Amino acid sequence: MADDVFKALADSTRRRILDELAERDGQSLFEICARLTTKHGLGLSRQAISQHLAVLESVDLVRTRRQGRYKFHDLNTEPLERIAVRWLRPKSRENSP
């Protein structure tokens, strides 16, 4: 699973999407597209952004929820936290010099 997360993070557009969701969670596709265009000068289609969101959803970095006819996207940091814990867990005192 961690390999899939790294592959998803390898794309700069997907990292920008995550940055935008970290700054303001719960955005619609339209809002994400507008922010990427105005703040980063990315002129990608809504379909292209939707495909990037699908990749992020597939590795659980983004979760979606529906409210009425709208779909909102939220950042989920749990996959990143699992990776960080894997490498940053405290070493046992037995192995310390």
pLDDT value at position 87? 82
Counting the structural domains of the chain, the total is: 1
pLDDT value at position 2? 83
Q: Is residue 33 part of a domain?
A: yes
Q: What is the dihedral of CA 27, 12, 14, 37, to 10 degrees?
A: 30
Q: Is residue 15 part of a domain?
A: yes
Q: Name the pTM for this structure.
A: 0.85
Q: Is residue 93 part of a domain?
A: no
Distances (CA, A) of 38 to 32, 35, 54, 71: 10, 5, 22, 21
Q: Is residue 82 part of a domain?
A: yes
Q: Is residue 22 part of a domain?
A: yes
Range of the domain at 8: 2-88
CATH number for the domain that contains residue 79: 1.10.10.10
Rounded to the nearest 10 degrees, the angle between the axes of helix 29-40 and helix 46-58 is: 110
**Which of 48-52, 80-84, 87-91 shows the lowest per-residue confidence on average (mean pLDDT)?**
87-91
pLDDT digits (tens, 9 = 90+) for 35-70: 999 999 998 999 999 999 999 999 999 999 999 999
Q: Is residue 95 part of a domain?
A: no
Q: Is residue 94 part of a domain?
A: no
